[in-house]
Amino acid sequence: MSEAGNEMTESVVLCAPDGSAAGTAPKATVHHRDTPLHLAFSCYVFDPAGRVLVTRRAYDKRTFPGLRTNSCCGHPAPGEGMRDAVLRRLWHELGIVPAELDLILPAFRYRAIATDGTVENELCPVYRALAATDEVTVHPPEVHEAWWVPWAGFAAQPDGTDPLSWWGVQQVEQLSALGPDPFAWPLGEHALLPAAATP
C-alpha cells in the first residue's frame, strides 16, 4: 500500500497543550498549515560500534520529502504503547529488531514549518535503540536511503549542503547535552512522558 493509502487508514492521537489526549484524527488530515498538536516519537539507532543510523526521507512523502534526519520517526496509533509503536516502525521502515530500546528524552516537543508551509507540531519522545548488527533493509515508500556514521560527526552537523531535519537539530542539541557517549546517556523517566502516551 502506498504512503497515501496508509495515511487514509492510520489515525494519530491528538493532544491538549498539557499533553493529555484530545481525541484522534486520520493521519491524512492532520499535517497542513495549521497542524494540531499530536503524539509522535523519534528514534536514534546505534550499531555495536557506536555509529548512528542516518536516514533520508523518501522523496515522494507528503511531508518533508528528501530530508536527512534521524533513524526513524512515527506516530503511535490510538491505544498503542510508545514502545510498541517504535518497534513497529523500526521493523516497517528499516527491517530492524533492536537488541535494546530505551527512552531518553520523554518530554521533547517541537514545531517546524516546511518550505511548502506544512507545519509539524508534535509531542515527540526520543528513544535510543541498539541494533544487533549493521544490516538495514529500507522500505522505499518511507526511506530513500540509510547509512551509518560516527555519532560525533553526526552531532557536529557539519553538512550545510544537506541540512538535517528541524526536529533532528533540536534533538541532537539536547542529546549532546547528555554527554558525548550515546551509550552513557541517562535514561528518561517514563513518568515524564506526555499523558496521552500509553505505557
| Residue 199 in domain | no
CA distances to 5, 28, 49, 76, 191 from 124, in Å: 24, 19, 27, 10, 15
* 43 assigned to active site: no
Catalytic residue among 72, 73, 93, 124: 73
Q: Does 169 map to a domain?
A: yes
Q: Is residue 49 part of a domain?
A: yes
- How far apart (Å, rounded) are the C-alpha atoms in residues 44 and 172? 10
CATH of the domain at 75: 3.90.79.10
pLDDT of residue 73: 95
Is 57 a domain residue? yes
The string of pLDDT tens digits covering residues 145-193 is 999 999 999 998 766 789 999 999 999 999 999 999 999 999 999 999 9
Does the residue 198 lie in any domain?
Answer: no
Q: Would you say residue 44 lies in a domain?
A: yes
Least confident of 60-64, 142-146, 178-182: 60-64
Residue of 15, 122, 124, 142 marked active site: 122
How many structural domains does the chain have?
1
| The model's pTM | 0.93
3-state secondary structure at position 173: helix
Confirm whether 122 is a catalytic residue: yes
The confidence score (pLDDT) of residue 159 equals 66
> In which domain, by residue range, is 159 found?
3-192
Q: List the single range of 16-20, 58-62, 148-152 with lowest mean pLDDT.
A: 58-62
Q: For residue 57, what pLDDT is reported? A: 96
Per-residue pLDDT band at 3 (split at 50, 70, 90): very low
Q: Average pLDDT of 120-144?
A: 96
Q: Is residue 85 part of a domain?
A: yes
- Residue 197 domain flag: no
The pLDDT, as a whole number, for residue 95 is 97
